[in-house]
Amino acid sequence: FWFLHGFDAEEDLVGNLASMSTNERIKAIQKMPETMRKKREIRNKVLKEIKKSRHRGARPSCCTQCLQGAAVSFRRFGNTLSEYFHQLWVWRKTLKIIGAEFGTSVLSYFVFLKWLLNFNIFSFLINFSFITIPQFLAAEPNNLSFTGLELFTGAGYFQQTVLYYGFYTNTTISKTENGPSYNMQLAYIFTVGIYFVICFLILLISMAKFFSRNFINPQAFSGNASKLLCTWDFNITNEKAVKLKQKNLCTQIKEGLTEVNKEDVNFSAMERVRRIAVHLLAWVASLGAAAAACAGVYFLSINNLELFMKGHRNDLESQTAMLVLPVIVSLLNTLIPFFFSWLGHLERFQTPGQHIYVTITRNIFLKMSIVGILCYYWLNIVATSESQCWETLVGQDIYRLVLVDFIFCLLGSFFGEFLRRIIGTTVCKSLGLPEFDIGRNVLDLIYAQTLTWIGILFSPLLPGIQMIAFFIVFFVKKVSLMRNCQPPCKVWRTAQMMTSFIFLLFCPSFLGVVSVIGVTVWRLKPSEECGPFRGLPSMYAAVTEWIQILESYTASKWVVWIYKNLITSELFFFIISSFVLIVIYLYWQIIQGRKTMAELLRKQINN
């Protein structure tokens, strides 16, 4: 290194850096084991050397100098703006504090919540750009009055806005007679379809990234020695940042030590039989509670639809009566998980991880079963009812479910954590402070995201509503965690938890939603009087008619060929699926090899 060999080596280093491209030079300076001040000095010397070499050569023209100056100014402005927003990104410091105080198990929930928030921002921008903005050009004035109750019911005034499917036109939007046109039918179905393809790729890439980071990365198996010796960032100079980093590192080492010092408990034959009996009874009770909840939701939804059809369809009072269904569904989704957590405490698992994963499994059965019952009700009963616009009716149901679930999430933080702290510190001090229930809170997020995905077809702006809800939930949960909860009594390592969360979001949540959307698009008949697909035998018929039109144009033959030979070909999808399975199998073999090497590396480091 140049700082070991004197001034000549420094000149050689500056000369070598000056000859590199911009990206290579930035990466080389970043990798230097030096402080930020020293790196800035090196960068300034390199920039001076580059300017000198330019002056030695041919002098650039005035136009070239102006363009270069504008490019440098724009780049500096972009870097300054990026650093400013990076400092304003509110949860950056919050996540560090949560990780230091409560460990990676609680931190994984907030990382997952932040990931979902970013996901819904992307979803909202896609739908708003390609579906909602064009509809504003063809929108008719809304003659309904706004009373404020629509914020809770989603009906009334909102029924004639871009919030719901029924408001969108089925005509081609054009501002001038001979100007460019915008086909709302194709825009609607292609935006939703491409959006779900992008979601599929994002989920797969995210699972692979977290899986690679937590299962394949050798640093995950290198033990506490490398974490103690190699993790510290010597660029940290702020006293508060140093203390926070020390606390965070201490918590991570504790989690690693609990995994290393874990002892296998040997139970007697009678104790094993007793534990197995308790586990079986707990599973029977949890599955019975989920089945009873699904039966109650089904019969309540049938009666609720009959009540709505008998009343006036645009009567706000009859719409308000339909709040009964989302309230009951949210009550079941809030109270039964507490019952599942109580069953988990009775089972007395050996590690907190087993307790959390079993609770998550039971909650996923409950919530996905309820969502399945609601989807059956929407696609088989509401879609065949006498409603003038059943798609808008489904969108209103999902809007109410999302809104009421958000309200119950906030109430759960108050009654489940705040009042529990009051009781544990004043009335019954033996209870103590509550712990943050990771399993229940994570499944609340997955349930809310599942509803949002289902509702995108019937309410395109629903991701925007969920985006605001997740933003508020993040700070409410953060304040409740800091003031009402205590760190986990048993510290444990949860490197793989984020991978599990993404996997649960992918299967059964995302795959189930894709099935529901597929049935809606290919099988169900759209309403005759509303929406962009009115009058068609199915939503997908809009694509078929478009392909028939393209067949008459020679320049569009390639689109027709792709549609007939790839999109509608079972053989093409069979080949793609086989290729994906082969890649997954080879990837898994590589993972096993790297895990074996990482285990050997960890043993060597620990020795």
Kindly indicate the confidence band of residue 466, based on its pLDDT and cuts at 50, 70 and 90.
very high
When pLDDT is averaged across residues 185-211 and rounded to a whole number, the result is 88
* pLDDT tens-digit readout, 363-406: 888 999 999 999 999 999 988 887 788 999 899 999 999 999 99
Q: What is the pLDDT of residue 74?
A: 63
Q: What is the pLDDT of residue 495?
A: 53
CA distance 387 to 397: 14
Of 316 and 185, more confident: 185
Rounded alpha-carbon distances, angstroms, from residue 569 to 94, 387, 510, 566: 50, 36, 24, 5
Q: Is the pLDDT of residue 174 over 80?
A: no
Of 143 and 325, more confident: 325
**C-alpha radius of gyration, the chain, whole number:** 29
CA distance 68 to 60: 10
Q: Assign 182 to helix, strand or coil.
A: strand
Kindly indicate the confidence band of residue 324, based on its pLDDT and cuts at 50, 70 and 90.
confident
Q: Is the pLDDT of residue 265 over 70?
A: no
Phi, psi of 99 (to 5 degrees): -65, -35
Q: What is the pLDDT of residue 489?
A: 65
Spatial CA neighbour of 397 closest among 454, 444, 447: 454
When pLDDT is averaged across residues 256-274 and rounded to a whole number, the result is 67
Kindly indicate the confidence band of residue 130, based on its pLDDT and cuts at 50, 70 and 90.
very high
* pLDDT tens-digit readout, 68-97: 666 666 666 655 655 555 554 556 778 878
Scan for tokens 């009906």, then name that residue: 155
Q: Is the pLDDT of residue 208 over 60?
A: yes
When pLDDT is averaged across residues 40-60 and rounded to a whole number, the result is 72
The angle, 0 to 180 degrees and rounded to 10, between the axes of the packed helices 7-18 and 36-56 is: 70
**N-terminal to C-terminal alpha carbon distance within the chain:** 31
Spatial CA neighbour of 334 closest among 399, 415, 403: 415
Spatial CA neighbour of 520 closest among 58, 65, 75, 192: 192
At residue 275, what is the residue type? R
When pLDDT is averaged across residues 266-274 and rounded to a whole number, the result is 78
CA distance 442 to 341: 13
At residue 124, what is the residue type? F
Q: What is the pLDDT of residue 446?
A: 92
Of 588 and 582, more confident: 582
Scan for tokens 């041919």, then name that residue: 58
Scan for tokens 């509809």, then name that residue: 135
Q: Is the pLDDT of residue 176 over 60?
A: yes
When pLDDT is averaged across residues 468-484 and rounded to a whole number, the result is 91
Which residues, 6 or more positions from 393, have their beta carbon under 8 angstroms from its beta carbon? 308, 382, 385, 387
Looking at mean pLDDT, say which of 344-358, 369-383, 546-560 comes out highest. 369-383
Kindly indicate the confidence band of residue 179, based on its pLDDT and cuts at 50, 70 and 90.
low
Q: What is the pLDDT of residue 490?
A: 58
CB atoms within 10 A of CB 442: 24
Kindly indicate the confidence band of residue 196, based on its pLDDT and cuts at 50, 70 and 90.
very high
For the chain, give the number of residues: 607
Kindly indicate the confidence band of residue 59, based on its pLDDT and cuts at 50, 70 and 90.
low
Kindly indicate the confidence band of residue 7, based on its pLDDT and cuts at 50, 70 and 90.
very low
Of 257 and 486, more confident: 486
Q: Assign 539 to helix, strand or coil.
A: coil
Looking at mean pLDDT, say which of 245-249, 331-335, 594-598 comes out highest. 331-335
* pLDDT tens-digit readout, 224-263: 555 565 666 555 556 666 666 676 677 666 656 665 555 5
CA distance 461 to 132: 8
When pLDDT is averaged across residues 345-358 and rounded to a whole number, the result is 77
Which residues, 6 or more positions from 496, have their beta carbon under 8 angstroms from its beta carbon? 214, 215
Residues 236, 245 contacting (CB under 8 angstroms) = yes
Spatial CA neighbour of 470 closest among 449, 496, 493: 449
Residues 404, 398 contacting (CB under 8 angstroms) = no
Phi, psi of 392 (to 5 degrees): -65, -35
Q: Is the pLDDT of residue 453 over 90?
A: yes
Q: What is the pLDDT of residue 496?
A: 64
Q: What is the pLDDT of residue 218?
A: 45
Of 179 and 24, more confident: 24
Which residues, 6 or more positions from 171, have their beta carbon under 8 angstroms from its beta carbon? 138, 184
The DSSP secondary structure of 433-462, one letter per residue, reads SPBP-HHHHHHHHHHHHHHHHHHTTT-TTH
CA distance 318 to 370: 24
CA distance 484 to 434: 7
Distance of CA 39 to the CA centre of its chain: 37
When pLDDT is averaged across residues 184-198 and rounded to a whole number, the result is 92
Q: Is the pLDDT of residue 45 over 50?
A: yes
CA distance 441 to 357: 13
Q: What is the pLDDT of residue 445?
A: 92
Q: Is the pLDDT of residue 568 over 60?
A: yes
Spatial CA neighbour of 118 closest among 470, 448, 460: 470
CA distance 151 to 400: 9
